[in-house]
Amino acid sequence: MSTTFWIQFLGVIFGIAMMYFTFVKYKRKELKSHELMMWFLGWILLMLVAIIPSSLDLIIAPLHFYRRLDFFVVFGFFILLGMGFYNYSVTKKMERKLEVLVRRRAIEENPQVEQKHEKR
């Protein structure tokens, strides 16, 4: 059997496994229904690209990529940068909320702190 077959086979197995894990997360109420559908769409697209790699040629040809792998490297880099920025933004937002919560709680537990700050 050819290497292409095994890559396609592993791509389909990986896609099915990830669909299963995504469904388990949904059943545990860790994902909402629209998130489930979005992830399922992603896993189905992954399996389609694994089975029919030439389906990407419609995207790759106009962008003048030499090989499909080049496209995946560039696309993956963009995705990683986007996810990194999103994670940074969410972390900063959570950090600010936590700081406000801790300050409120400290003032509630020790009202003398608030009085000292008001006298300044």
List the structure tokens of 58. Answer: 């419609």
pLDDT band at 113 (very low <50, low <70, confident <90, very high): low
Residues with Cβ within 8 Å of residue 74, at least 6 apart in sequence: 65
- For residue range 23-80, list pLDDT tens digits in order: 999 999 999 999 999 999 999 999 999 999 888 888 898 999 888 889 989 999 999 9
Residues with Cβ within 8 Å of residue 43, at least 6 apart in sequence: 15, 16, 18, 19, 22
SS3 for 28?
coil
SS3 for 2?
coil
Helices 33-51/3-27 angle, 10° precision: 170
Which DSSP state fits 64?
Answer: T
- Looking from the CA of 77 toward its CB, the CA atoms found within 13 Å total 6
- For residue range 64-94, list pLDDT tens digits in order: 988 888 998 999 999 999 999 999 999 999 9
